[in-house]
Copies of this chain bind each other. A is one copy, B any other.
Amino acid sequence: MEIIKKIASVPLFEDLSKKQLADIAAIAVGQKYKRGQLVFSEGDEGSGFYVLISGGVKIFKLSPEGKEQILHIMGPGEPFGEAAVFAGEHFPASARTLSESKVLFFPRRSFVDLITNNPALSLNMLAFLSRRLRVLANLVESLSLKEVPGRLAAYLLYYSKHKNDPAILELGISKTQLAALLGTIPETLSRILSRMGKEKLIKAGLRHIQILDRQGLLELSEGSRRLT
């Protein structure tokens, strides 16, 4: 059963005993999605939740006019769709794969039983939900209190936290997707990237961005500086 090995490496299932991991493995169902496939839609009945094993998934909302706002981008090891398990029962947003992806699906009923008898698992889940809450609170802050250059600067700084200048960031997503994550449109993002380039804050490539002036970005993200 190599499924146990996969499960053991998922942060959500950290600190669990062999026996507990086996219990979890017993209720997990493996699934595979092609790039661009819809995993679930906002409003769907949430009969369980997912853990991403490989690939990438975006969680997003769509406006009637077709504009997309990305809430999260999930990488391997991350759970998604959990909120529907513990409250409300239907998904508050939609999920689509960004590349070919493997996921594990956990049916609601069995998982709730499992968590009930498993304090470590429930604390892990609480930690994940709390972290997600924080991410969304920051997104709200970005959207409401920052202009697009500030949002982009904050994003770049966040994703380069552990690198030194000149840091080269592999975006891993298209600029269209990045725009949707920042709450804007590709045209606006493109213009701002070019302005940031002119001011020697960054150097933008096709799918990567080089940070030249961290301090400048910080000032932008905090509103104490503006792009000319």
Contact = CB atoms under 8 A, between A and B. Distances in A.
B123 A87 contact: no
A164 interface: no
A137 B92 contact: yes
Q: How large is the interface on A (under 10, 10 to 19, 20 to 34, 35 or more residues)?
A: 35 or more
A71 interface: yes
A140 B133 contact: no
A86 interface: yes
A72 to B, nearest CB: 10
Interface string A59-102: 00111110101010000000000111111100011000000000
Nearest to A64: B223
Give the interface centre of A61, A86, A125, A127 by most chain B CB atoms within 10 Å: A86
A126 interface: yes
A82 B130 contact: yes
Nearest to A120: B116
Interface in A108-154: 112, 115-117, 119, 122-123, 125-134, 136-141, 143-146
Q: How many copies does the complex hold?
A: 2
Contacts of A183: 143-144
Contacts of A130: 82-88, 129
Contacts of A64: 222-224
Given A93-B137, A140-B136, A129 B129 contact: yes
Nearest to A116: B119
B87 A131 contact: yes
Given A117-B119, A131-B87, A132-B133, A61 B141 contact: yes
Contacts of A145: 61-63, 67, 69
Shortest beta-carbon contacts, A-B, top 4: A63-B145, A87-B130, A136-B136, A83-B130
8 contacts: A64-B224, A67-B144, A86-B126, A87-B126, A92-B138, A116-B119, A126-B129, A140-B140
Interface of A: 61-65, 67, 69, 71, 82-88, 92-93, 112, 115-117, 119, 122-123, 125-134, 136-141, 143-146, 183, 222-224
